[in-house]
Amino acid sequence: MRRLRHPVSAALMLLGVLIPLVPLVLWSFAGRWRYPGLVPQQGTLRGVRLLADPTSQVLAGLGTSVSIGAAVTLLSLAVGVPAGRALGLYEFRGRNLVRLLLVAPALVPGLAVLLGTQVFFLRYGLADTLAGVVLVQLVPTIPYVTLVMAGAYANFEVDYERQAALLGARPWQVQLHVTLPALRPALTVAAYFAFLISWSEYALTLLIGGGTVKTLPLLLYAYAGGPDPTEAAAVALVVMLPPLLLMALVVRGLSGRGGTLGLVRS
């Protein structure tokens, strides 16, 4: 164990995480980077210009991804928070079954289960639409919101709500002034998970959006298969930075919680 405490092991861990991102960042500003050069022979802002160029569709993709991410986050909170409350606060018959049902989509790969729903989305005119993509993305997000909130409600002192009600607060006032503030850290984490899952989703968006709903991951896939690594790397940075910045904000907002985001304790 003593050898393990050497500072080298921690440095190696961080290098292992950061090194794969080095060529990505370098490529996004590399005008010319021929083999076997270890660093680019020439810099460029071509990648940055591509992002602003309307024909590249990157800005439109950013808009699509943000809209879908916001809608999925809000809807999965609206659906998952009450479910988390039921699972966290109440003992009832069939609780384990409901929990298993609501957690299952986090375990079983979404594409495998949802491939069969394409006919359903086609029949109801939801295929190739933004609404259809939002709906299908709720399946992988609801389990995380429900789990995080069930954990938070299990530790929530429900007597505060009763006391506020006894003091004359209306139900919505109780929720707004008592429950919501007490659950804010969990709500933040749940919202972040929902947004991150939606933002990163590729296969379900392709399946239901049919390539018409072009989110950033779909654009990135197209550029990654294209001839220009500079363009692909620049788009990749646009896909990567928002969730990283949001994560930094969330971790800072929850500081003192060990930086684990309350991930598994719940």
* Positions 172 through 211 that interact with another protein (CB under 8 A): 174-175, 196, 199-200, 202-203, 206-207
- Asked if residue 243 binds another protein (CB under 8 A), the reply is yes
Q: Which residues pair with 78 in a beta bridge?
A: none
Identify the three-state secondary structure at position 53: coil
Contacts of another protein in 82-111 (CB under 8 A):
82-83, 85-86, 90, 92, 98, 101-102, 104-111
Contacting another protein within 123-182 (CB under 8 A): 123, 135-136, 138-139, 142-143, 146, 161, 165, 171, 174-175
Burial 9-28 (b: 16+ CB within 10 A, else e): eeeeeeeeeeeeeeeeebbb
Q: Compute the Cα dihedral for 153, 159, 164, 165 and give only its sign.
A: positive
Nearest CB to another protein, comparing residues 213 and 261: 261
CB of residue 31 to another protein, shortest distance in Å: 16
Q: In the range 55-74, which residues lie near another protein by CB under 8 A?
A: none
CB of 45 to another protein, least distance (A): 19
Nearer to another protein, 23 or 63 (CB): 23
Find the binder of another protein among 114, 134, 147, 148 (CB under 8 A): 114
Contact status, residue 138 vs residue 79, Cβ threshold 8 Å: yes
- Type of residue found at 118: Q
Contact 217, 200 (CB under 8 A): yes
DSSP 91: -
